[in-house]
Amino acid sequence: MDMLAPIKEVKGVGPKTAEALERVNLKTVGDLIYLLPRVYENYQAAVDIADLRPGKAIIKGKISDLHIIRTSRKRLTITQGVIRDHTGAIRTVWFNQPYRAKQFDEKREYYFTGRYEFKNGRYQLTSPSATLVQDVEKEDVAGFQPIYSAKSSLKPQTFRKLLDNLRPDFAKIPDLLPFSEGSPDFVKPGARAEALYLSHFPETPEEAEKGRKYLAYEELFELILAAKLNQQENLRLKSIPLTFQQDFIQKLVKSLPFQLTNAQRRAAWEILQDMERGVPMNRLLQGDVGSGKTIVAALAAAEATQNNYQTALLAPTAILATQHFESLQILFDSLSNKFKHLRVPRIALLTGATPHKKMLKNLIKEGEIDLVIGTHALLTDDTEFQSLAFCIIDEQHRFGVGQRQKLLLKSPDNTAPHLLSMTATPIPRSLQLTIFGDLDVSIVNELPPGRQPITTKILPEVQQSEDLYPKMRELLAKGQQIYWICQIIEEKNTNTATPVKKQAEKLKKLFPGVQVGMLHGKMKADEKDHIMDDFAKNKIQILVSTTVVEVGVNVPNANMIVIQDAEGYGLAQLHQLRGRVGRGDQPASCFLLTTGEGKPSRRLREMEKSTDGFHLAEVDLKIRGPGEIYGAMQHGELDLQVANLSDTELIAAASHHASEFARNPENLQNYPELASRIRKYQQLTTLN
């Protein structure tokens, strides 16, 4: 079987279906075969209604009496029905899924899978999925079935049918992984074909798990090998060694207006040591929100200046670039006043809105500016450096590979700059090791002294009048400010979340005399900057915003954040949003507003208990899986479908196998399909 053959060659794929498949990025036969089931349902485990016990349950029956109830709680609809079989009847309920009322044919039998639980004085089946009995039992192997996700207009049944058409050819799927030194026993001829067949057509849960194990290993091997090859390529590059200026750094640290934490000292020492080498540093500096990463980067930039070389700091937004510039300017000006003989960096800000850009770019080219802080304006062809030896990329996941390369190519001929990438998204240790291989990582995991803790509270939306608004009035009376976060900008028929525009109007009525502002992603960049500038200057007291404030905004006077429809966010994103407050010397609070009748999810309960971003990242990895953690970093689409990064044995085996294979990277030429897959991962795992 040719895995790279176009999708139209699959039996049953006509021009229209091919077009629909390509729209969801299924372009080849291999893409379709690697579209793995979302879950497996074991319909053989279905029970009679009379035998139901609390917990997950599967029953077979007909449904009737469907109707929708609109509750007094705004935006909450309840769809109810009754499922019957030959032993009895049970009530079923869906929340905010009104389409369920018209989904079913009362004359046909379905398998219903959901949670059987005691609610509001009676037992019910909550939010079940449904599959026609006819669709299950016409399969060759009735009972244990793969369930595929719908994609755009393509239904799960479409994928099942197309894969069934390919079933006779699965045995012809070529092997992918090398059977080389270090490979485990299960990586053997035919293992890939067998694993994919068992994933799509298992007869038992054990067969599905056997297929999953091999495919998980395959993903991990590709990812780890990509990281190791990136590291090898990096070691072949040359950089300018920047000598450690011990006396200068000691004076700098002693004269700071605050004491460095031990974590900051350790991270700075690791970075300064790396910069002495003749190969480029490739280090990730990760620190929780407010942990003081910028001062660590500033010490390294000052070191580059002492060696007579330039530094560039690239930030994703003009707001963040300006904040870096203003804080570092104050820091370096105070040092210049203290130590007249010390050479501290001459710094400049370069954004799209910078006046006299041509003159500033001439100064950069002539070496009159030591540290340039800027946005994408740093990447333009006419921004040239005389001696760029050190690059800092803040929130580096917000820049594509090509953009990062543009900056790195501005260093002197035949050298690559030392690179420090910063992120405020804590990455679990297991994910670090896997995604970045042996990449050097520095962690700033202590908050500076004086930082006030943030108290977090889950609050049902119906209680906000009694429990939230009085606290908001109290805080506003002290002259402090508030963020209010919404998921969407405008009202949509298909979305029950509160829109920014509607919430802003509501708050204006609730808090007369208070300036309420609005911020969202559809605004132009200069309009967003203007709103944030007004908020920073306290011209706006309540800022209603989407998640555009998630990273980098520093308003020390804002000490409350309210996150509406909090269940709609991932744990990493909630933690990032919470990090917008508690940045001054006042206590801060975060309210997570929930709707619906159910108990708060585990991620909200974890948010309420902990403010440790690294702990929450590990929890998030267990709850949601690696793809979504990595997606929160916006590093590109990692899209791990089967690998579970808590499976340390598989990771260790894949790491050993990849290390052995990487000893002779030229061998990759003998594996063209593996090479093409590795290239995709190399773009995701490289920081430079």
Domain residue limits, the chain = 40-147, 204-451+650-688, 454-610
- The CA distance from 582 to 55, in Å, is 41
This prediction's pTM: 0.71
Contacts of 82-86 with C-beta under 8 Å, sequence gap 24+, read: 83/49, 83/59, 83/112, 83/125, 84/49, 85/48, 85/49, 85/59, 85/60, 85/61, 86/48
Among 153-167, 304-318, 440-454, 551-565, which is the least confidently predicted range? Answer: 440-454
DSSP code of 427?
Answer: -
Question: Out of 3.90.1150.10, 3.40.640.10, 2.30.30.90, 2.40.50.140, which CATH number does the structure's domain 40-147 have?
Answer: 2.40.50.140
Average pLDDT over residues 247-276: 92
Average pLDDT over residues 452-458: 89
Q: Check if CATH label 3.40.50.300 holds for domain 204-451+650-688.
A: yes
Q: Does residue 199 register a pLDDT over 60?
A: yes
Average pLDDT over residues 531-547: 92
Between 205-235 and 191-200, two packed helices, what is the crossing angle to 10 degrees? 130
Provide φ and ψ at 443, rounded to 5°. -120, 130
Tell me, what's the pLDDT at 200?
94
The set of residues, in sequence order, having a beta carbon less than 8 Å from that of 496 and lying 6+ positions away, is 75, 76, 96, 595
> For residue 497, what pLDDT band results from cuts at 50, 70 and 90?
confident
Average pLDDT over residues 409-432: 79
- The CA distance from 534 to 524, in Å, is 16
Tell me, what's the pLDDT at 552?
58
Tell me, what's the pLDDT at 131?
85
CB 349 within 8 A of CB 374: yes
124: left (phi over 0), alpha (psi -120 to 50) or beta: beta
Q: pLDDT tens, 50-62?
A: 999 988 899 999 9
Q: Specify which of 161-165, 368-372, 431-435 reaches the highest per-range mean pLDDT.
A: 368-372
CATH number of 454-610: 3.40.50.300
Tell me, what's the pLDDT at 625?
59
Q: Specify which of 21-35, 137-151, 602-616 reaches the highest per-range mean pLDDT.
A: 21-35
Q: pLDDT tens, 336-363?
A: 888 777 788 999 999 988 889 999 999 9
Among 76-90, 499-513, 641-655, which is the least confidently predicted range? Answer: 641-655
Tell me, what's the pLDDT at 507?
95
DSSP code of 154?
Answer: B
Q: Does residue 84 register a pLDDT over 70?
A: yes
Tell me, what's the pLDDT at 318?
84
Average pLDDT over residues 219-238: 86
Mean pLDDT for the chain?
Answer: 86
Average pLDDT over residues 235-262: 89
- The CA distance from 434 to 427, in Å, is 11
> For residue 629, what pLDDT band results from cuts at 50, 70 and 90?
very low
Q: pLDDT tens, 274-294?
A: 999 999 998 888 887 778 889
Tell me, what's the pLDDT at 595?
82
| Same fold? 204-451+650-688, 454-610 | yes
458, β-bridge pairs: 592
Tell me, what's the pLDDT at 618?
76
Q: pLDDT tens, 381-393?
A: 999 999 999 999 9
Higher pLDDT, 28 or 290: 28
Tell me, what's the pLDDT at 637?
41
CB 525 within 8 A of CB 318: yes
Tell me, what's the pLDDT at 641?
72
Q: Does residue 436 register a pLDDT over 70?
A: no
Higher pLDDT, 448 or 675: 675
Q: Does residue 273 register a pLDDT over 60?
A: yes
Higher pLDDT, 566 or 408: 566
Provide φ and ψ at 337, rounded to 5°. -70, -35
Q: Does residue 438 register a pLDDT over 70?
A: no
Tell me, what's the pLDDT at 636?
39
Q: pLDDT tens, 600-621?
A: 888 899 999 988 877 887 787 7
Q: Which amino acid is at 15?
A: P
CB 287 within 8 A of CB 293: yes
> For residue 456, what pLDDT band results from cuts at 50, 70 and 90?
very high
Q: What percent of the chain has pLDDT over 70?
A: 89
Q: Does residue 631 register a pLDDT over 80?
A: no
> For residue 491, what pLDDT band results from cuts at 50, 70 and 90?
low
Cα 52 from chain centre:
39
